[in-house]
Amino acid sequence: MSTLIIADHDNQALNPATLSVITAAKALGQSITVLVAGSGCGAVAEAAAQAEGIEKVLLADSPAYDKALAENLAELVISLSSGYSHILTAASTTGKDFMPRVAAQLDVGQISEIIAVESADTFKRPIYAGNAIATVQSLDAIKVITVRGSAFDRSAATGGSAGIESVTATAANDRSAFVKEELVVSERPDLTSAQIVVSGGRGLGSAENFDLLARVADKLGAAIGASRAAVDAGYVSNDLQVGQTGKIVAPDLYIAVGISGAIQHLAGMKESKVIVAINKDEEAPIFQIADYGLVGDLFEILPELESKL
Amino acid sequence: MKILVCVKRVIDYNVKVRVKADQSDVDLTNVKMALNPFCEIAVEEAVRLKEQGKADEVVVVSIGPKAVQEQLRTALALGADRAIQIETEAAPEALNTAKLLAKVVEQEQPGLVLMGKQSIDSDNNQTGQMLAALIGAPQATFAYSLELDAEQVVVTREVDGGLKTLALKLPAVVTTDLRLNEPRYVKLPDIMKAKKKPLAVETPDGLGVALKQHQTVLKVEAPGQRQAGIRVDSVDALLDKLKNEAKVI
Amino acid sequence: MRESMEFDVVIVGAGPAGLATACRLMQLAQDNDQELSVCVVEKGSEVGAHILSGAVIESRALDELFPDWKAMGAPLHTAVTKDEVYLLTSATAGKCLPNALVPKTMHNQGNYIVSLGNLCRWLAEQAEGLGVEVFPGFAAAEILYHEDGSVKGIATGDMGIGVDGEQTANYMEGMELHAKYTVFAEGCRGHLGKQLIAEFGLDTEADAQHYAIGFKELWQVPEEKHQPGLVVHGTGWPLQGGTSGGFFLYHLDNNEVVVGLIVDLNYSNPWLSPFDEFQRLKHHPVLAQHLEGGSRISYGARAITKGGFNTLPKMSFPGGLLVGCNAGTLNFSKIKGTHTAMKSGMVAAETLFDALSNSEGARAELTEYANRFADSWVYDELFRARNFGPALHKFGPILGGAFNFIDQNLFAGKLPITLHDRSADHTHLVPADQAMQIKYPKPDGKLSFDKLSSVFISNTNHEENQPCHLRLKDPELPIRDNLPTYAEPAQRYCPAGVYEVVEEGGQARFQINAQNCIHCKTCDIKDPAQNITWVVPEGGGGPNYPNM
């Protein structure tokens, strides 16, 4: 049996989350086929073919798949599904949208947002917003799975040379239609989706001092966050608050500056991949969960950081 | 037009979950339960559509033991007109839920089905999409705003990187995201009125749906605790670690 | 004009007193084939969400209210099997007192270890089954009066007022709930009860009320350490220097153990932190042996009305009654208030029912309540225990304890003297520079914890965008007076880290983190200047205690 991965992309480039899905798929120990469905997405198929460890790339190039409408994608995947024991895609808003339709049409369950592959039929996935981890065994012949990209390393983007095979497109449905899209163009990334977040606490001492933080964030292309104490003190507005009652973030890198690390704050950022703590109090609880801790005066550290980035 | 809203009873979002000592599940004994927040948004949206004259009846449905009637009453107090409980021992798996709901759709023939994008307990984010597939309806997940008329619903969705707008012919299934609306507070007289609104109880057998198990939960455990890492003594050392060890910048 | 609803009886607070009142009223209505409309409003998000108690309870009142409560499934699962009483003499030493030397009121044979929150959840189900309207998530914010000054009912708080005091998009005006009689069962230091006592001068003939702060944690312990039914009480270390109080540790079912400390709020040292006293107490071997290897599930704290008989205010006023701990019916010699609170509510229900059946004007004051209360066993029990607290306050734990042994065991509380303690708790603080600073050990994260991680597991939440519900009469006072004189004790007596003094550019600022508030009311009681007034936040806010 083999594994089918549905690539996540924007018709121009492969979403790197797909490389994480490949890593998850490799753990199943079967040959891997990648389906690239889109419109004018030949370059994506080329990229997928170069990814290491791929047996074959299927290319479905049709206007029907241009905007990744769930109805059309699901129909296509169903038409190609025979012979695959596992169907995987990234848990992006596209993957989450069409994949349950695939499962329902195949009359199988879906296992959502896996974070570990235990065996060919057993997976770990977070439940209760990550406050518990379930180990789930699928009893279905076909396993339909979405993969949380941040939980798996990216497989190598090059080193492979899979053949590309065009497949027949299925008909576009006539009940849903794309109207428009507005991609957010912002100088600073959105707090909840940023790859890097630089967050400040009461230790910054004033609203003006948040500028020091902003300059570091600019250099890193990072979003700015804040602790509840900094919001309560009026340094920044409350839409920047990270924590139990604020936003929950899980970036690749979280830099906590002048934040003591109360559990209420940790609840909003502890799923970050790498946590850096900068604080003058070496006893601050934030150091207990930080991967890298730097004890010192943030008013010296921040300008130095800015100049060296 | 009739709107069907599917809702779920879940642990209150303010309550911290705790895994049972035997790792069989999380401990829900005597913890506060509530209407799933995304479902509440779906109810609110349906009620607003009714208030705007775009719908004439809002029917809420929930699946589970008798206790789910509490959440159905909440939905009725928010402004739904009548409720259906499908009695099962526990909340079924997503596909079974979708199959039961598909039967209700067949009976009720709503123009629009509204539901939460996911429940905050199982975090599956599947049921709406599965229901749409089973009834052959178009879908719009993660709704940020919607406009309903007699023939179609235009939904702007929250997607990675921005917003995407779709037009769906009715009947359609729409799942709600957090920013669609802010649900109203329930009023005391409405709670009392809700007790008198009709609530029908159905069973999977009665609906002709055989529930099938697709998954087994082998274990539920607490997430691993983060361990303290290392201390660095300078900005240079920090940047070196971030670039060469963690490879995040 | 606010919308209003009419009821025969409106009850404020779904605790044991309020729910017992509601249940008894409906039972009487059914027995007499009468229609009665009764509603209970509760500020917690659900019944039980704000209930915090030890709790070892006597079932006496419940036996009377629902004689077949066992068959009805009341959650009294763990009968007391063994009583231990300790005097802790140091951080590592303690003596188990022989049973014969323990005041009789501290013996617990025949009692049950329960979660009072779960008992209230059960009582609310019974009440609803009897036809009572129970409305959790609605806070009684305001007392309504008739023109003649009698109580007309209450108004629930407005919802959707922003932190700036302006209406938000979701604004919903509060509702007026009018009733022939309104029963206030808010528990200790109810904010409306406090207003009623002042408005009607209910306490003019009583001694000053006394309070304590009680902490409680729920633990899950390893199977081999679990001894269901074991009740441990004690006093002594770590409380010192005239600070009185005592601890409890009970083994429930399901490998659960509760542990707590009660600290009397007449303590004098402003450096005292009741929270930290509790945290270090758990390291004493007498307690640690039960907890080691276990994990903490929940945390909470609540003030306790403990003045007893001599401090009991008048409980009736035109248009309403004060029942349970809102008046102060707890029996401190037993450290139990559930059975007395329930009984006070049941007596209230009987009085109310007779008054309602009798067509005379509803606004009259139910002076009959005092007579019926005086004829009940609660009165007798509280009378016998009247010297217990004052003796401890006057003579200290050793001599006071000896007095209590003689009074309770030899004279069954009938010793022909009455001791008084007339000074209010908030007057006892001495200036910080005259008191010994206390250095508390750092929490180890296994047996002891910091305040914020404790508040975290109380599941406390308040809508962020709302006005602060902790009102300062004089906003400058904390920094101007309390800080120099008492090192602002609110930082230490608050069990939830609500109050902080933060340095900003060399200036001290008083920070109120109202979102952390677990509704214990200690600040309203202990502030030396009585500058803090606790009012209800938006309904549904506060802790969400499970199984507490």
CA-to-CA distance for C219 and C238, rounded, in angstroms? 21
CA-to-CA distance for B80 and B44, rounded, in angstroms? 9
Residue C362 banded pLDDT, cuts 50, 70, 90: low
The per-residue pLDDT of chain A, averaged, comes to 94
Q: Which of A23-32, A267-276, B35-44 has the lowest mean pLDDT?
A: A267-276
CA atoms A50, A56, A61, A64: torsion sign: negative
Residue A190 banded pLDDT, cuts 50, 70, 90: confident
Residue C407 banded pLDDT, cuts 50, 70, 90: confident
Q: How far apart are the first and last CA of chain B?
A: 53
What pLDDT is attached to residue C415?
79
Token couple for B122: 């199982």
**Mean pLDDT, residues C202-217 taken together:** 96
What pLDDT is attached to residue A186?
66
Into how many domains does chain C fold? 1
**Looking up tokens 């130095």, which residue turns up?**
A304
CA-to-CA distance for A53 and A26, rounded, in angstroms? 8
Please, what are the domains in chain A?
2-166 (3.40.50.620), 196-308 (3.40.50.1220)
| CB distance A106 to B189 below 8 Å | no
Domain-embedded: residue C276: no
What pLDDT is attached to residue A185?
67
Please list the helix, strand and coil fractions of chain B in percent, rounded to the nearest 5, in that order: 30, 30, 40
Q: How many CB atoms lie within 10 A of CB C223?
A: 7
CA-to-CA distance for A239 and A246, rounded, in angstroms? 7
Domain-embedded: residue C87: no
Domain-embedded: residue C175: yes
**Model confidence at C21: pLDDT above 60:** yes
**Mean pLDDT, residues A78-103 taken together:** 97
Q: Give me the interface pTM, i.e. the ipTM.
A: 0.94
What pLDDT is attached to residue B190?
96
Residue of C nearest to B20 (CA): C220
A173 forms beta bridges with: none
**Model confidence at A115: pLDDT above 90:** yes
What pLDDT is attached to residue B160?
85
The catalytic residues of C are 53, 302, 338, 494, 517, 520, 523
Backbone dihedral angles phi then psi of residue B221, each to the nearest 5 degrees: -130, 160
What pLDDT is attached to residue A18?
96
Of C519, C202, C212, C226, nearest to C388 by C-alpha is: C212
- Chains touching chain B through at least 3 C-beta pairs below 8 angstroms are A, C
Q: Which of A152-156, C334-338, C395-399 has the lowest mean pLDDT?
A: C395-399
CA-to-CA distance for A241 and A244, rounded, in angstroms? 9
| CB distance C540 to C44 below 8 Å | yes
Residue of C nearest to A263 (CA): C453
CA-to-CA distance for B57 and C103, rounded, in angstroms? 66
Please, what are the domains in chain B?
2-245 (3.40.50.620)
Look at A132 and B221 and tell me if their CB atoms are within 8 Å: yes
* Residues in chain A, overall count: 309
C216 forms beta bridges with: C260, C300
What pLDDT is attached to residue C360?
61
Residue of B nearest to C45 (CA): B32
Q: How many CB atoms lie within 10 A of CB C343?
A: 29
**Model confidence at C361: pLDDT above 80:** no
Strand B139-148 and strand B57-64: the pairing is: unpaired
In chain A, where does DSSP find H-type helix? 17-26, 42-50, 70-80, 93-106, 210-220, 228-232, 263-266, 298-308
Token couple for B220: 């539920």
Domain-embedded: residue C273: no
**Looking up tokens 């199959």, which residue turns up?**
B99
List pLDDT tens digits, range A125-161.
Answer: 999 988 999 999 999 999 999 999 888 989 999 999 9
Q: CB of C338 within 8 Å of any CB in chain A?
A: no
Q: What is the domain range of residue C378? A: 4-67+117-208+309-384
CA-to-CA distance for C277 and C262, rounded, in angstroms? 10
Buried b (16+ CB within 10 A) or exposed e, A50-72: bbeebebbbbbbbebbbbbbbbb
Q: How many CB atoms lie within 10 A of CB C502?
A: 13
**Mean pLDDT, residues C397-413 taken together:** 79
What pLDDT is attached to residue A135?
98
Look at A100 and B133 and tell me if their CB atoms are within 8 Å: yes
Instruction: Give the CATH number for residue C132.
Output: 3.50.50.60
Q: For every residue of B141-184, which 3-state class applies, written as one string?
A: EEEEEEEECCCEEEEEEEECCEEEEEEEECCEEEEECCCCCCCC
What percentage of residues in chain A have a pLDDT greater than 70?
99
CA-to-CA distance for C169 and B154, rounded, in angstroms? 24
Residue of A nearest to C514 (CA): A232
Token couple for B221: 């455990």
**Mean pLDDT, residues A195-224 taken together:** 95
pTM of the model: 0.94
Token couple for A308: 């060296």
Going by C-beta distance under 8 Å and a sequence separation of 6 or more, which residues neighbour residue A197? A191, A222, A223, A224, A225, A242, A249, A251, A253, A254, A255, A269, A272
Look at C45 and B31 and tell me if their CB atoms are within 8 Å: no
CA distance A69 to chain B (A): 9
**Looking up tokens 């910091």, which residue turns up?**
C450
DSSP state of C46: S
Q: Is the peptide bond before B171 cis (omega within 30 degrees of 0)?
A: yes
Look at C121 and B15 and tell me if their CB atoms are within 8 Å: no
Residue C506 banded pLDDT, cuts 50, 70, 90: confident
In chain B, which residues have their Cβ closer than 8 Å to the Cβ of A274? Answer: 242, 246, 248
Residue type, B129: Q
Of A176, A131, A20, A10, nearest to B159 by C-alpha is: A10
Token couple for A59: 């290319």
List pLDDT tens digits, range A53-77.
Answer: 999 999 999 999 999 999 999 999 9
Per-window interface: B 47-66 vs A, CB < 8 A: none
Look at C170 and B15 and tell me if their CB atoms are within 8 Å: no
CA-to-CA distance for C449 and C280, rounded, in angstroms? 9
* SS3 state of residue C358: coil
Token couple for C22: 């509601």
What pLDDT is attached to residue A188?
82
In chain B, which residues have their Cβ closer than 8 Å to the Cβ of C45? Answer: 12, 14, 32
Work out the widest C-alpha separation in chain B, in whole angstroms: 70
| CB distance C340 to C381 below 8 Å | yes
- Complete edge-to-edge strand list for the sheet that includes strand C56-57: C56-57, C112-113, C78-79
In chain C, which residues have their Cβ closer than 8 Å to the Cβ of A238? Answer: 464
DSSP for C373-418, please give it.
HHHSHHHHHHHHTTTHHHHHHHHHHHHHHHHHHIIIIISTT--S--
The per-residue pLDDT of chain C, averaged, comes to 94
| CB distance C260 to C217 below 8 Å | yes
Helix C368-375 and helix C338-357, axial crossing angle in degrees, nearest 10: 140
Backbone dihedral angles phi then psi of residue C395, each to the nearest 5 degrees: -105, -5
A295 forms beta bridges with: A279
DSSP for C108-175, please give it.
-TT-EE--HHHHHHHHHHHHHHTT-EEEET--EEEEEE-TTS-EEEEEEPPEEE-TTS-EEEEEE---
* SS3 state of residue A46: helix
Question: Is residue A208 packed enough to be buried (19+ CB in 10 Å), middle (13-18) or exposed (0-12)?
Answer: exposed
What pLDDT is attached to residue C413?
81
Question: Based on C-alpha coordinates, what's the Rg of chain C?
Answer: 22
What pLDDT is attached to residue C462?
92
CA-to-CA distance for A87 and A141, rounded, in angstroms? 11
Look at A245 and C504 and tell me if their CB atoms are within 8 Å: no
CA-to-CA distance for C396 and C244, rounded, in angstroms? 8
- Chains touching chain A through at least 3 C-beta pairs below 8 angstroms are B, C
CA-to-CA distance for C216 and C261, rounded, in angstroms? 7
Question: Per-residue pLDDT for chain B (249 aa), expressed as one digit of tens each?
Answer: 999 999 999 999 989 999 998 999 999 988 999 999 999 999 999 999 999 999 999 999 999 999 999 999 999 999 999 999 999 999 999 999 999 999 999 999 999 999 999 999 999 999 999 999 999 999 999 999 999 999 999 999 999 878 999 999 999 999 999 889 999 999 999 999 999 999 999 999 999 999 999 999 999 999 988 888 999 999 999 999 999 999 898
What pLDDT is attached to residue B69?
98
In chain A, which residues have their Cβ closer than 8 Å to the Cβ of C452? Answer: 262-264
Token couple for B229: 């890492």
